[in-house]
Amino acid sequence: MKKLLIYIVAYNVQDNLISLLNRIPENVLKEFDCEVLIIDNSSTDDTFNVAYSQELSNLRLNVKVLYNPIKQAYGGNQKLGIEYAIRNDFDGFILLHGNGLYAPEVMHQMVSPVLNGKADMVIGSRVLKKQTKQRIPFYKKAGNRLLTNFHNKIHQSELTDFHSGYRAFSVKSLKSLPYASNSNDFLFDSQIIIQHLLAQKTIAEVFIPTYSGKEMYLFNCFTYGMAGIKATLASKLHQRSIFYKREYDVSDPFEDYSLKLGYMSSHSMAIENTEPNGCVLDIGGGQGRIAKELKKKACVITGIDMCEQKDDSIYEAFYQRNLDFLELDFDMTKFDTLLLLDIIEHLSQPEEFLDKLRAGFGLSQPKVILTTPNIGFFITRFQLLLGQFNYGKEGILDKTHKRLFTFKTLKTLCKQCGYTIEKTKGVPAPFPKALGKNFLGMGLLNINRFLIFLNRRLFAYQIYLEIKPTPLAGDLLSNSINASAEKKK
């Protein structure tokens, strides 16, 4: 039997609480293993004693009562309930307002999709059907419709009531989201929906009747609306890696970046400059997206990365390794091309990493294609001038980057590690990825390419190098000894 937590936030609701509990439907109690958690939010009336009497005497409901000695705001109270649900291994979670604003009578319709695995979140919509008696004030109804339309437009969703406070959740879904980073006030409701949308979770809606009632806290609707708009815009800026917002970071840490193909990019340049029929070592290639493209050129590819492979057919051989402590326990001399695409900036000690590769290649001198973000990019410089250094989920200031390079510092690193610089190019920003392969995206890309021609150190978004390792003195000496022995025969 699935476990359901019915969570009631109670503040000065001594007159409503018992009637609210009596309205919880029997079909919910029979079908699911239910617990009613009531948290008294530092009420100034007799709410706690009324609730506690139900914990002691209510034979129909399994009631648990807690008390907040420190009064929490709306979102803060939801975090407490979610934490309780996670800690006690509940499957479903539904929020009831202690003032009776939302109807317990439709609870079964609300929680069934969640507990039956058909939805990760269910919203009680007040406008899904036309009600016979509209009990929502006109200014709220109009504002809700305008804001919901705005959110739908930005997130490409089709919700009818973005701002209903009646919600049911899968606890498993909540556990996977950074809900603790959300606001402690009413903005929490918008943020938790945005998180579900960004994570591509399933949201269902159920029609609910509307009752008039005093909100838990008085707040300015205009201020709330503006905060919701800012939250939605912030989530899109986060998605575009313009600014980083921790509450919207719902991605898998091992999620592959999408390929940047069909225009000048580090990916297209690497693929273009890898010879057909080659033997390629792809380090940090993730799930092998570049390798798939190289297989079209009849290349044989070996992969190294710390993530586990989902498709074993892409690489001829794959070695799961921590790149910061790289072990090269296989023959490296057979490779004619090595790909280090956006890898070196993730390493704690790139000098040691390049030294190990050089030692592994012995006397062979494969082409090494190395790309990394250019910290000298003009936008990053301008942001720094304004006192900004905003890390994001990807891009130049990806929050996982440990070392940052300019053209000069990267070339210096390679030379000091015994590599010769064969080719240096600047890579434009991936405008088509952010804006689409349309007139605007491709137009900005071409402008960026022209600016790189004028000054690549300032206008290149990424650095592209082709380098070659020089043999170590020990390898050269061994080769000299062997060659001398042959010559003396």
Per-residue pLDDT tens for 417-456?
Answer: 999 999 999 999 999 987 889 999 999 999 999 999 999 9
**Res. 148: pLDDT tops 60:** yes
pLDDT band of residue 486 (cuts 50, 70, 90) is: confident
For 271-282, what is the mean pLDDT?
97
Give the pLDDT band (50/70/90) at residue 139.
Answer: low
Position 138 scores a pLDDT of 58
Is residue 404 pLDDT above 90, yes or no?
Answer: yes
Q: How confident is the model at residue 215 (pLDDT cuts 50, 70, 90)?
A: very low
When pLDDT is cut at 50, 70 and 90, the band that residue 220 belongs to is: low
pLDDT (tens digit, 9 = 90+) per residue, 94-106?
A: 999 998 889 999 9
Residue 77 · residue 96 · CB < 8 Å: no
Q: What CATH number has the domain spanning 3-248?
A: 3.90.550.10
- Beta-carbon-side half-sphere exposure of residue 232 (alpha carbons within 13 Å): 22
How many CB atoms sit inside 10 A of residue 336's CB?
A: 16
**Averaged pLDDT, 396-416:** 95
Torsion angle defined by CA atoms of residues 342, 346, 351 and 354, in that order, rounded to the nearest 10 degrees? -40
pLDDT of residue 254: 57
**Residue of 466, 264, 464, 273 lying closest to 374 (CA atoms):** 464
* Parts of the chain belonging to CATH 3.40.50.150: 266-476
Residue 68: what residue type?
N
Torsion sign, CA atoms 395, 396, 397, 403: positive
Nearest to 206 by CA among 95, 96, 109: 109
The string of DSSP codes covering 292-349 is HHHHTTT-EEEEEESSPPS-TTS-SEEEE--GGG----S--TT-SEEEEES-GGG-S-
Q: How confident is the model at residue 399 (pLDDT cuts 50, 70, 90)?
A: confident
**pLDDT exceeds 50 at position 132:** no
pLDDT at residue 256 in the model? 58
Q: Of 329-338, 354-363, 391-400, give the lowest mean pLDDT range.
A: 391-400
Length of the chain, please?
A: 489
User: Per the structure block, which two tokens stand in for 120?
Assistant: 């990760």
In the chain, CATH 3.90.550.10 covers 3-248
- Average the pLDDT over 177-188 and give the result: 95
The 10 Å CB-count burial string (b at 16+, else e) for 320-334 is ebebeebeeeeebee
Q: For 78-87, how does the pLDDT look when each residue is reduced to its tens digit (9 = 90+)?
A: 999 999 999 9
- Which residues, 6 or more positions from 338, have their beta carbon under 8 angstroms from its beta carbon? 280, 281, 283, 357, 366, 367, 368, 369
pLDDT over 50 at 356, yes or no: yes
State the pLDDT at residue 15: 93
Mean pLDDT of 126-143: 64
Residue 76's pLDDT is: 96
pLDDT for 135 equals 60
Task: Check residue 433 and give its pLDDT.
Answer: 87
Query: Whose structure tokens read 């137009």?
Result: 443
DSSP 180: G
In this predicted structure, the answer to whether residue 113 has a pLDDT above a threshold of 80 is yes
Say how far apart CA 122 and CA 113 lie, in whole Å: 7
Query: Considering only 1-10, 17-26, 187-196, 474-483, which range has the smallest mean pLDDT?
Result: 474-483
Q: What gap in Å lies between CA 398 and CA 394, rounded to an integer?
A: 4
CB contact at 8 A, 131 and 209: yes
pLDDT surpasses 70 at 217: no
pLDDT grade for 211, boundaries at 50, 70 and 90: low
Average model confidence (pLDDT) across the chain = 91
- Judged against a pLDDT cut of 50, whether residue 364 lies above it is answered with yes
Q: Is the domain covering 266-476 a CATH 3.40.1210.10 domain?
A: no
Please report the pLDDT score of residue 199 as a whole number: 94
Quickly state the pLDDT bin for 123 (edges 50, 70, 90): very high
Q: Quick one: tokens of 6?
A: 């019915």
